[in-house]
Amino acid sequence: MTLETSWLSWGEAKLSIEVAFSLEDKLQGLSGRPFLPEDQGLLFLFDPPERAGVGMQGVGFPLSVAFLSDAFKILAFHDLMPDDPEVLVAPQPIRAFLEVNQGWFERKGLQVGDHLAFTEQARWIRPPRRMGFV
């Protein structure tokens, strides 16, 4: 699995991200990885926005997930435990969700309503309705 990479920021917090576009990459997620470095995350993008689900099958470490709006505003946070068979479904259509080590959002002071920003322009950030590679 080779994923595109970018950076997200909020205030002083900076996060290296990998981006899952394809269904295959989304299904694989962080499954099978032994750990996730502290300031790294996995961003799952959806076009059009949808009520996506987050699963922990095959993930051996606890995560926190943030559901993100079309403008990358944080809508909600959830903590997830390793190998939990339940799937957490977004309560509304979302543009993305971001998986990080459990507690990362709290340690960095992020709150519901905050906006995450990309620190570099990536070809897939806009337009939000069609994410084809041009």
pTM of the model: 0.86
- The CATH number of the domain covering residues in 4-118: 2.60.120.1140
**pLDDT tens-digit readout, 52-81:** 999 999 999 999 999 999 999 999 999 999
Burial of 130 (0-12, 13-18, 19+ CB in 10 A): exposed
Q: Where are the domains of the chain?
A: 4-118
Cα–Cα distance, 118 to 113 (Å, whole number): 16
Cα–Cα distance, 11 to 2 (Å, whole number): 29
**pLDDT tens-digit readout, 1-46:** 567 888 888 887 889 999 998 888 888 899 989 999 999 999 999 9
